[in-house]
């Protein structure tokens, strides 16, 4: 199989729903069971990729079916499977409000270790020129040119941490800016290299759990100008400037008589590099706009 890593950078808040919630949030987002990190299920990623390519007149229906498999409604759903495998979108960088530098791109030792494990499985191990630093339980690691801390301290939301500059964090920030961040201009490349913060695992998990964006939605009665009964609800969203990654695998065509190579299958997705797609709900109010980077 051929492999690629697809990075998703949120440019508007993203609601990948998990149905009704048991907490004060009516419509929570999808999360991993054990870690509670936000994620997007691979089925949703694959469905949106299919819908995006179906809107391209240059791609034939046969090629769509080769890549994603035939639709069950066509009566040929069991004829063959699609040649593309899309994994779940996992969290890599989570933006958190900062007293200095507006916001910080936060991550953790656990997230970076899982990302490195995934990249080593998907790509050649020599593509990584960094290692995960040794965990420091009582400090936040920052780059040597960080602008989100002051006097060896950083304030994120209502919490403050002692910081420690680390050259390995410089390498991680530079690698992510070069290989994972979509091409959005020099400002964002520099922002990542001056705002990356590695937090203790438990602290990062709490930010990823409690520092998401909560949006209240209402429907107003046009005559009474009051909220319609039962039309008040809260939705959880991944905040703007979150970075996720998705492992992609491509097989040869499984459709008889149409022999397409792994390269031809993956080329359909590579063509989306640098473009925008919409993920999750609330499309008509501008939610879920993400930019794609394939590496």
Helices 186-195, 167-179: inter-axial angle, 10-degree rounding: 150
Q: Stretch 115-134: mean pLDDT, rounded?
A: 84
Phi, then psi, of 145 in degrees rounded to 5? -115, 35
Where are the strands (E) in 67-224, listed by range? 84-86, 89-97, 103-108, 139-142, 153-156, 159-165, 196-199, 213-217
Contact 214, 5 (CB under 8 A): no
Flag whether pLDDT at 127 surpasses 80. no
- At residue 124, the pLDDT reads 59
Strand partners, 139: 162
Q: How far apart are CA 259 and CA 262, in angstroms?
A: 10
pLDDT in tens, 228-251: 776 678 899 999 999 999 999 998
Q: What is the pTM of this model?
A: 0.92
Flag whether pLDDT at 278 surpasses 90. yes
DSSP percent split of the chain into helix, strand, coil, nearest 5: 30, 30, 40
- At residue 253, the pLDDT reads 87
Q: How many CA atoms lie within 13 A of 79 on its CB side?
A: 18
């Amino acid at each position: 199989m051929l492999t690629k890593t697809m990075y998703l950078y949120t440019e508007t808040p993203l609601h990948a729903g998990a149905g009704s919630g048991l907490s004060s949030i009516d419509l929570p987002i999808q999360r991993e069971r054990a870690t509670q990190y936000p994620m997007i299920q691979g089925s949703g990623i694959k469905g949106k990729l299919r819908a995006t390519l179906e809107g391209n007149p240059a791609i034939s229906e046969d090629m769509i079916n080769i890549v994603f498999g035939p639709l069950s409604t066509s009566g040929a759903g069991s004829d063959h499977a699609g040649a593309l495998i899309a994994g779940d979108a996992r969290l890599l960088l989570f933006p958190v409000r900062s007293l200095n530098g507006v916001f910080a791109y936060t991550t953790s030792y656990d997230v970076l270790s899982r990302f490195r494990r995934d990249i080593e499985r998907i790509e050649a191990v020599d593509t990584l020129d960094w290692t995960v630093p040794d965990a420091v339980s009582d400090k936040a690691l920052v780059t040597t040119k960080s602008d989100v801390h002051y006097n060896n301290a950083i304030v994120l939301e209502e919490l403050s941490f002692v910081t420690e500059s680390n050259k390995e964090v410089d390498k991680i920030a530079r690698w992510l800016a070069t290989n994972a961040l979509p091409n959005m201009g020099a400002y964002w490349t520099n922002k990542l290299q001056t705002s990356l913060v590695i937090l203790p695992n438990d602290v990062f998990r709490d930010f990823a759990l409690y520092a998401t964006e909560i949006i209240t939605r209402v429907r107003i009665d046009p005559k009474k100008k009051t909220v319609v009964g039962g039309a008040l609800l809260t939705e959880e969203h991944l905040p703007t400037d979150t970075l996720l990654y998705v492992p992609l695998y491509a097989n040869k065509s499984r459709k008889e008589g149409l022999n397409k190579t792994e390269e031809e299958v993956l080329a359909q997705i590579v063509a989306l590099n640098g473009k925008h797609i919409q993920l999750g709900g609330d499309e008509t109010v501008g939610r879920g706009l993400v930019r794609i980077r394939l590496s």
